[in-house]
Amino acid sequence: MSPNESHRLLLGDLLSPATIELHLRAHSKEEVLAELVARVTELATRPNDQETLLHALLEREGLHSTGIGDGIALPHARNALVGLVSQPAIVFGRHTGGIPFGSIDGTPATLFFLLVAPTVSIHLHILARISRLLRQHNLRRELLLVERPERALGLIRESEAKL
């Protein structure tokens, strides 16, 4: 994927109803990460690669939490895991009760956006795009209330179109 292509990457195109889980059942950071990893479509039949990704995410969390505050966490490996995925992938998860995630504001995380990318430049581009999108208070509020993955995807696409 060229640098020009990375600028056209839309979060709404990287998500699907299959990569959205509105009812995370986890009770810990590790369990949330495992649930999100299980939703990475490209890794669905590759348990060893799922384990590699989970290990990289846990290692990243050990360095510094990806909880950014306002009930949001953006789990991602410290760097792109070259060769793990051929295309960037995002998984959106919601936990209604919230999970302590070591966020900078101390708020439990309820909205999770897991990012996996094949290159560092795409990784950084998507991470910045997610961060920019989630600055929209109305989107965060609506994602907490939405009842269907299809509607969550629609909300993200609508908000992204306004960026």
Annotated active-site positions, please? 76
Let me know: does 121 contact 95? Beta carbons within 8 Å: no
Report the alpha-carbon distance of residue 99 to residue 95 in Å, rounded.
7
Question: Could you tell me if residue 47 is left (phi over 0), alpha (psi between -120 and 50 degrees) or otherwise beta?
Answer: alpha
Q: SS3 for 43?
A: helix
Let me know: does 81 contact 114? Beta carbons within 8 Å: no
Report the alpha-carbon distance of residue 114 to residue 39 in Å, rounded.
10
Residue with tokens 């505050």: 69
* Integer Rg of the chain from CA: 14
